[in-house]
């Protein structure tokens, strides 16, 4: 969450007003709470939300669905190929897709009406037969202070005015930082913190870079992070006297100083395919990472020793080797799907002990005590966040929107469940 400092206004005291206000809040405490909740619930500014923990703050959602699923409010068609999820702000919905080998960024209102559609460079393509359905957009647009930022698959980073879609600035990351095209195209969703934008070109002139969000000017670049693009997105945390950018490369997990770019710590973490896709999770001085292709899951303890940050492995397990569907930490337990270790899992965060395992694989999000688990073949499951056993309460089949698997991460925001599949976006009423 971004905090803005404002000058304190001149304060005057009105005793009657103070007494009235006190009575108001005594008798109507839920009024202010519900207002704040409503304001927060209409925001999902970036991939996995403002806190990047993929957990909605909403309450009062349906705990069970009809056999046919929750009510479908509307369907958007014409997005093209892609796996971009949605971000939501100022009553706008943003996503991206590929049409005729061109990447586009879209803005819709909350009724599904298209407000604008703007190009953001040529799309990534592949000649690999097994990967033909992988083509299309990856990055989810990031909203911040009236601007939408999007990184296309070939490294074109663009800032758009959120109301009109007009370009404010753009930067070709591969040219600027001497980078190769990643094996599966750039996939991260850029992170905004204060006045700065963080992303990973993985080039010779900068693996991770910090840019001025207003114009794209370089603030710093880090050339010390080993490996190539990991396809994951970074998080920002406060620990050990630093505001750290924690991210993944193809062969390690690392933390860098957000002010200077200095590499503070790193630990080897490499799978058989050199593609760590799942975002790291930070909690109470520890970092959790997971990766597919047999790598598994690991918890790292960070120890502050003076100005140094020393990483130490707490535990490692082959279980829940997450491919790219994401993992959620909730009340001391980890929820997500495995790749070679098949099925949906619940693990104890502190020990890595398996609590339960159930068939399936896909992406997920959390809201109001429930997991929304989207299977790769299109079944949406509503599952309780209970650690003692797997409790699925409802399920329904999401319609097909084109070719490929259901890999775009679902989003719960404003009393709705948003599900993207290829060319289509579905909005379901779940309040």
Read off the pLDDT of each residue in 387-395 and give the average, rounded to a whole number. Answer: 98
- What is the pTM for the complete model shown? 0.90
CB atoms within 10 A of CB 431: 15
pLDDT for res 10: 30
Percent of the chain at pLDDT > 70 equals 89
Query: How does pLDDT run across 113-170, given as a tens digit for each residue?
Result: 999 999 999 998 776 656 667 889 999 999 999 999 999 999 999 999 999 999 999 9
H-helix or E-strand containing 115? strand 114-122
* 39-48, 92-101, 226-235: segment of lowest average pLDDT: 39-48
Percent of the chain at pLDDT > 90 equals 85
Rounded Cα–Cα distance for residues 150 and 157 (Å): 6
Question: How is residue 376 written in tokens?
Answer: 């790769």
pLDDT at 315 over 80: yes
Bridge partners of 291?
296
Domain positions in the chain are 53-74+325-406+408-431
- Closest to 388 (Cα-Cα) out of 431, 318, 332, 327: 332
| Reported confidence tier of residue 24, pLDDT bands at 50, 70, 90 | very low
CA 86 to chain centre: 10
- Average predicted confidence (pLDDT) for the chain: 90
Rounded Cα–Cα distance for residues 232 and 114 (Å): 29
Read off the pLDDT of each residue in 362-387 and give the average, rounded to a whole number. Answer: 98
Read off the pLDDT of each residue in 48-73 and give the average, rounded to a whole number. Answer: 97
CATH architecture, domain defined by 53-74+325-406+408-431: Beta Barrel (2.40)
Question: How is residue 373 written in tokens?
Answer: 């688990």
Rounded Cα–Cα distance for residues 143 and 90 (Å): 10
pLDDT for res 152: 97
Read off the pLDDT of each residue in 202-226 and give the average, rounded to a whole number. Answer: 97
pLDDT for res 182: 92
DSSP state letters, 173-224: HHHHHT-PPPTT---PPPEEETTEEEE---BTTBSEEEEETTT--EEEEE--
């Amino acid at each position: 969450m971004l905090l803005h400092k404002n000058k304190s206004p001149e304060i005057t005291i009105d005793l009657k007003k103070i007494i009235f206000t006190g009575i108001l809040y005594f008798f109507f405490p839920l009024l202010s709470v519900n207002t704040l909740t409503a304001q927060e619930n209409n925001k999902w500014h970036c991939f996995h939300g403002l806190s990047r923990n993929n957990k909605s703050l909403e309450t009062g959602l349906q705990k069970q669905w009809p056999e046919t699923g929750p009510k479908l409010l509307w369907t958007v068609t014409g997005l093209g190929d892609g796996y971009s999820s949605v971000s939501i702000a100022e009553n706008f919905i943003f996503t991206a897709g590929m049409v005729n080998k061109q990447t586009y960024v879209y803005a819709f209102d909350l009724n599904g009406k298209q407000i604008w559609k703007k190009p953001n460079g040529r799309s990534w393509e592949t000649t690999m037969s097994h990967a033909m359905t992988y083509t299309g957009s990856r990055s989810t647009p990031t909203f911040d202070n009236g601007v939408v930022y999007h990184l296309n698959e070939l490294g074109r980073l663009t800032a758009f005015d959120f109301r009109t879609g007009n370009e404010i600035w753009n930067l070709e990351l591969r040219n600027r930082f001497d980078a190769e095209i990643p094996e599966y195209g750039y996939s991260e969703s850029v992170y905004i913190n204060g006045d700065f934008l963080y992303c990973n070109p993985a080039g010779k002139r900068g693996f991770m870079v910090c840019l001025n969000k207003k114009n794209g000017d370089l603030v710093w670049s880090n050339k010390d992070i080993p490996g190539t693009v990991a396809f994951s997105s970074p998080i920002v945390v406060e620990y050990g006297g630093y505001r750290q950018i924690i991210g993944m490369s193809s062969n390690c997990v690392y933390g860098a100083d957000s002010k200077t770019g200095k590499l503070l710590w790193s630990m080897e973490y490499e799978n058989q395919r050199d593609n760590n896709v799942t975002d790291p999770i930070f909690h109470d001085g520890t970092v959790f990472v997971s990766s597919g292709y047999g790598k598994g899951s690991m918890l790292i303890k960070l120890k502050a020793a003076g100005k140094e940050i020393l990483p130490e492995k707490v535990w490692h397990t082959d279980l829940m080797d997450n491919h790219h569907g994401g993992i959620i930490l909730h009340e001391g337990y980890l929820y997500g799907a495995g790749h070679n270790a098949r099925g949906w899992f619940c693990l104890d965060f502190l020990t890595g002990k398996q609590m339960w395992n159930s068939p399936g694989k896909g992406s997920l999000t959390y809201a109001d005590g429930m997991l929304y688990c989207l299977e790769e073949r299109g079944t949406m499951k509503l599952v309780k966040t209970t650690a003692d056993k797997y409790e699925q309460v409802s399920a329904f089949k999401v319609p097909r929107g084109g070719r490929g698997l259901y890999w775009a991460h679902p989003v719960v925001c404003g009393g709705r469940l948003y599900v993207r599949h290829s060319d289509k976006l579905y909005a379901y009423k779940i309040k």
